[in-house]
């Protein structure tokens, strides 16, 4: 039966967001997340959207951004895992790169963590740096290795041998033997076949450590939503079928936030504004990223203390969201975040027993979050509770309630501004060349102040911004990011053969999801570095070797401010294979003029503020700040000195006027 509905589901720390496309206007919905069993919130949302019949009939496709892998990593609640590597280098994950989080502290605090007690076993085999076998793996040693691994009682095993990215046959022999013993196994030549033994080992261990929990969750969700097709967003901004994602948990660590960037890229193309700085502010955290036409990927990401070398969206995350707690320290200084009130008890204004001030409470006290608009009026905001909590904070600081609220917002805005500086100014980009795209449930309340702090004159608040990450999931392409390490000095014709092999691998995986061959597009990139260095830059593949080298020099100069007179080395091939999703396009807005529902004098604002319902605004309508533009999943504060224009798709284009 053909599909009639496409549902994007983004599970966050506070809310689970839904966007439904198909048969008319998009429908949006939010429910409180259920962290102990995330599928319960998803099934609740499907019931409340009355999609049970469409799901049972196979008319509904579900695309999901999940935080299960991320939360398991941050909370250190992975599976019992054994790490297998070559004999003599069993401590590679514990030694790492010897980086210090407190560089100048002579007595740094030690952090034991999971790796301190990770069981490690050494295999008596070895390849050299060219991939040549110099010590074979005997049958006796293999049997002994399997027995030692089993003695630890593991749920999962990670296998990472030296130079296995050049030849994975020894790893595969070990994996085959362990799988015959009934164990789940992750091998480095399948997870991330590239140099860097520590980073490759970490990615393989993370995958083995997290996959059992992710697989159990996705199996429960698949059973509950069958026969609806279920796809999962990966960290690089593309989706894969849920049954394939079960064994690739390390690729899901930024599953949810990647949906927002997929939507931002699409909107940038629609609005002819490809240069974007994105700002996704939710209840618990804020994610910022920079797009220059394409989603930027990195192989130097982190989740908590763990480096993650698999491709993921280049994003900077801080603990500043609508639920971030404000408090006064022993020295009398105000702090905001990173601790959050979460969904339970939540901010004081939620009326669920929360006593501490949050950023959301500050917006309520200043009148920027109106009680009758919160979640479409379904969330009862307790203004008195927010004011009472803020008054206590003000007493600690020796200021009144209004000043305390303004201080909380100013400090939260500064934290987020600094995060935006990290991904722009610190990487050689001028924020004024970009438009600031705001989304997430709390983003529209802060977008003008953040743009002012950065000297930016353009901003965008998309239609359905509060659930944009969920909507982006639906539009995200089915995608594979494939990698192949290159031996030193490999000629171009051999590189061409490797490119074709990677394309065929990606095509085969996408065809297994039902994608036709003529729907698949390919993009080829090359990781390059100066000889003797380990940090690589990604360059689009060019057939001419001299042009590739010149492109690398230019990229290095832009990124680091200089170029070196050293030989250039080709390190990895990367092939993107993707097939675009084409759900129904929402209809354009009618040509109408939406009038304010009322005007109000908000605390701290001299002028009267017009309060609008966003769904009443028409194509081409212009608004002048100060104004509040409310919708069911968020509110936009159009600050004084800013104006807004409504596009045919319903997006708000903000421009500095003063």
Position 368 scores a pLDDT of 93
16 with 481: CB under 8 angstroms?
no
Position 101 scores a pLDDT of 74
Max CA distance (Å), the chain: 83
| Least confident piece of the model among 272-281, 515-524, 580-589 | 580-589
Q: Which CATH number applies to 5-73+215-252?
A: 3.30.420.40
DSSP string, 101-122: SSTT-SSPPP--TGGGG--EEE
Averaged pLDDT, 295-316: 85
**Whole-model pTM?**
0.85
Give the integer Cα–Cα distance in Å for 235 and 261. 10
Residue 344 predicted with pLDDT over 90: no
Separation of first and last alpha carbons in the chain? 55
| Least confident piece of the model among 45-49, 195-199, 377-381, 564-568 | 377-381
- Average model confidence (pLDDT) across the chain: 90
Q: Burial of 246 by CB count in 10 Å (0-12 exposed, 13-18 middle, 19+ buried)?
A: buried
The angle, 0 to 180 degrees and rounded to 10, between the axes of the packed helices 197-225 and 38-48 is 40
Averaged pLDDT, 237-256: 91
Give the integer Cα–Cα distance in Å for 29 and 502. 40
Position 204 scores a pLDDT of 97
Number of C-beta neighbours around residue 119 at 10 A: 17
Averaged pLDDT, 226-246: 92
| Least confident piece of the model among 20-29, 62-71, 410-419 | 20-29
**Token pair 């502010």 is at which residue?**
281
Structure tokens at 408: 């909380």
Residue 658 predicted with pLDDT over 90: no
The string of pLDDT tens digits covering residues 502-548 is 999 999 999 988 889 999 999 999 999 999 887 889 899 999 999 99
Give the integer Cα–Cα distance in Å for 244 and 227. 16
HSE toward the beta carbon, residue 264, CA cutoff 13 A: 35
* Fold that domain 80-98+113-209 belongs to in CATH: Rossmann fold (3.40.50)
Most confident of 51-60, 215-224, 488-497: 215-224
Most confident of 296-300, 439-443, 513-517, 521-525: 521-525
Using only C-alpha atoms, the chain has a radius of gyration, in whole angstroms, of: 26
Q: Which of 490, 483, 482 is nearest to 130 (CA)?
A: 490
Give the integer Cα–Cα distance in Å for 281 and 420. 12
Averaged pLDDT, 119-146: 94
Q: Which of 237, 277, 646, 233 is nearest to 462 (CA)?
A: 646
pLDDT band at 378 (very low <50, low <70, confident <90, very high): low
Position 112 scores a pLDDT of 67
pLDDT band at 14 (very low <50, low <70, confident <90, very high): confident
Position 102 scores a pLDDT of 78
| Least confident piece of the model among 65-79, 197-211, 582-596 | 582-596
Position 413 scores a pLDDT of 95
Averaged pLDDT, 550-557: 93
Residue 464 DSSP class = T
pLDDT band at 375 (very low <50, low <70, confident <90, very high): low
Domain ranges of the chain: 5-73+215-252, 80-98+113-209, 478-579, 598-656
Give the integer Cα–Cα distance in Å for 117 and 78. 13
Distances (CA, A) of 381 to 320, 326, 443, 611: 21, 19, 18, 17
Q: Are strands 126-127 and 27-32 parallel, antiparallel or unpaired?
A: unpaired
Domain 478-579 = CATH 3.30.1490? yes
Position 379 scores a pLDDT of 67
Position 295 scores a pLDDT of 85
Q: 3-class SS at 201?
A: helix
260 with 440: CB under 8 angstroms?
yes
């Amino acid at each position: 039966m053909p599909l009639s509905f496409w549902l994007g589901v983004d599970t966050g720390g506070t809310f689970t967001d839904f966007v439904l496309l198909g048969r008319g206007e998009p429908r949006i919905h939010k429910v409180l997340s259920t962290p102990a069993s995330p599928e319960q919130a998803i099934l609740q949302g499907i019931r409340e959207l009355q999609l049970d019949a469409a799901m049972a009939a196979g008319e509904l496709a579900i695309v999901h951004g999940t935080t299960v892998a991320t939360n398991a990593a941050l909370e250190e609640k992975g599976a019992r895992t054994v790490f297998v590597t070559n004999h003599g280098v069993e401590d590679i994950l514990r030694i790492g790169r010897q980086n210090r989080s407190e560089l100048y502290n002579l007595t740094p605090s030690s952090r034991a963590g999971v790796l301190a007690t990770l069981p490690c076993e050494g295999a008596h085999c070895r390849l050299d740096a060219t991939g040549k076998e110099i010590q074979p793996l005997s049958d006796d040693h293999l049997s002994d290795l399997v027995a030692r691994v089993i003695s630890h009682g593991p749920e999962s095993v990670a296998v990472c041998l030296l130079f296995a990215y050049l030849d994975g046959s020894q790893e595969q022999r070990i994996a085959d033997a362990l799988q015959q013993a009934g164990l789940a196994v992750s091998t480095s030549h399948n997870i991330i076949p590239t140099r860097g033994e520590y980073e490759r080992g970490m990615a393989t261990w993370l995958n083995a450590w997290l996959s059992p929990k992710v697989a159990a969750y996705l199996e429960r969700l698949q059973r509950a939503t069958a026969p609806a097709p279920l796809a999962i967003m990966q960290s690089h901004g593309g989706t894969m079928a849920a049954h394939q994602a079960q064994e690739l948990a390390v690729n899901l660590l930024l599953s949810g936030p990647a949906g927002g960037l997929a939507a931002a890229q699409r909107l940038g193309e629609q609005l002819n504004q490809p240069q974007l700085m994105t700002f996704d502010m939710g209840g618990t955290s804020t994610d910022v990223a920079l797009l220059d036409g394409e989603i930027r990927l990195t192989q130097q990401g982190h989740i908590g203390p763990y480096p993650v070398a698999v491709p993921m969206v280049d994003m900077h995350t801080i603990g500043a969201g609508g639920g971030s707690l404000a408090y006064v320290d022993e020295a009398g200084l105000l702090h905001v975040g990173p601790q959050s009130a979460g969904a339970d008890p939540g901010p004081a204004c939620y009326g669920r027993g929360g006593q501490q001030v949050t950023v959301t409470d500050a917006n309520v006290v200043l009148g920027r979050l109106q009680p009758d608009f919160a979640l479409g009026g379904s969330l009862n905001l307790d203004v008195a509770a927010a004011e009472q909590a803020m008054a206590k904070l003000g007493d600690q600081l020796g200021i009144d309630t209004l000043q305390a609220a303004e201080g909380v917002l100013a400090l939260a805005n500064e934290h987020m501004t600094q995060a935006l500086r990290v991904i722009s100014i610190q990487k050689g980009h001028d924020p004024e060349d970009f438009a600031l795209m705001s989304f997430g449930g709390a983003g529209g309340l802060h977008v003008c102040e953040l743009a002012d702090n950065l000297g930016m004159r353009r901003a965008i608040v998309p239609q359905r911004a509060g659930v944009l990450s969920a909507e982006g999931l639906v539009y995200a392409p089915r995608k594979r990011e494939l990698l192949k390490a290159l031996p030193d000095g490999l000629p171009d014709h051999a590189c061409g053969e490797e490119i074709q092999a990677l394309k065929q691998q990606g095509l085969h995986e996408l065809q297994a999801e039902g994608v036709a061959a003529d729907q698949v597009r390919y993009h080829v990139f090359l990781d390059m570095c100066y000889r003797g260095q380990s940090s690589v830059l990604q360059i689009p593949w060019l057939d001419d070797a001299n042009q590739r080298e010149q492109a690398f020099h230019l990229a290095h100069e832009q990124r680091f401010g200089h170029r070196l007179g050293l030989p250039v080395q080709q390190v990895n091939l990367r092939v993107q294979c993707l097939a675009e999703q084409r759900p129904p396009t929402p209809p354009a807005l009618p040509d109408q003029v939406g009038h304010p529902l009322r005007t109000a004098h908000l605390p701290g604002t001299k002028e009267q503020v017009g309060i609008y319902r966003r769904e009443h605004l028409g194509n081409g309508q212009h608004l002048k700040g100060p104004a509040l533009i409310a919708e069911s999943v968020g509110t936009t504060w159009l600050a004084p000195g800013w104006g807004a224009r409504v596009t045919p798709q319903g997006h708000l284009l903000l421009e500095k006027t003063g």
